[in-house]
């Protein structure tokens, strides 16, 4: 049976906007960030990335970082179309 797994928000690429390095944060953090932002993880797919204003490498004294969700691709992908259809 072809069960379609929902996109795992932990797979969203996270980059530090300050130093440009990929940010690897602990498991579950991305989901947490999305919840803070009031976004359902189910809305995300691989066409999103997260920009973090700071990371443990360049600003290790910060415990929390301001993050921005960035759409990488246009809504020509099926997931984007599905989102647009939801009213």
- Beta carbon of residue 35, minimum distance to Zn ion (angstroms, whole number): 23
Q: Which is nearer to Zn ion, 45 or 65 (CB)?
A: 65
Considering the complex, state which of residue 22 and residue 42 has its C-beta at the smaller distance from Zn ion: 22
C-alpha torsion angle, residues 22, 27, 28, 30 (rounded to 10): 10
Nearer to Zn ion, 62 or 77 (CB): 62
Where does this chain bind Zn ion (CB under 5 A)? Answer: 16, 18-19, 55, 58
Q: How far apart are CA 50 and CA 34, in angstroms?
A: 10
Nearest distance in Å: CB 59, Zn ion:
6
Among 86, 3, 15, 4, CA closest to 55 = 15
């Amino acid at each position: 049976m072809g069960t379609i797994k929902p996109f795992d928000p932990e797979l969203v690429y996270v980059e530090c906007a300050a130093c440009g390095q990929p940010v690897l944060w602990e498991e579950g953090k991305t989901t947490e960030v999305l919840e803070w932002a009031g976004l359902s993880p189910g809305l995300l797919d691989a066409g999103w990335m997260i920009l973090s204003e700071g990371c443990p490498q360049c600003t290790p004294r910060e415990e929390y970082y301001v993050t921005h969700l960035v759409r990488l691709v246009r809504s020509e992908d099926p997931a984007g179309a599905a989102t647009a259809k939801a009213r």
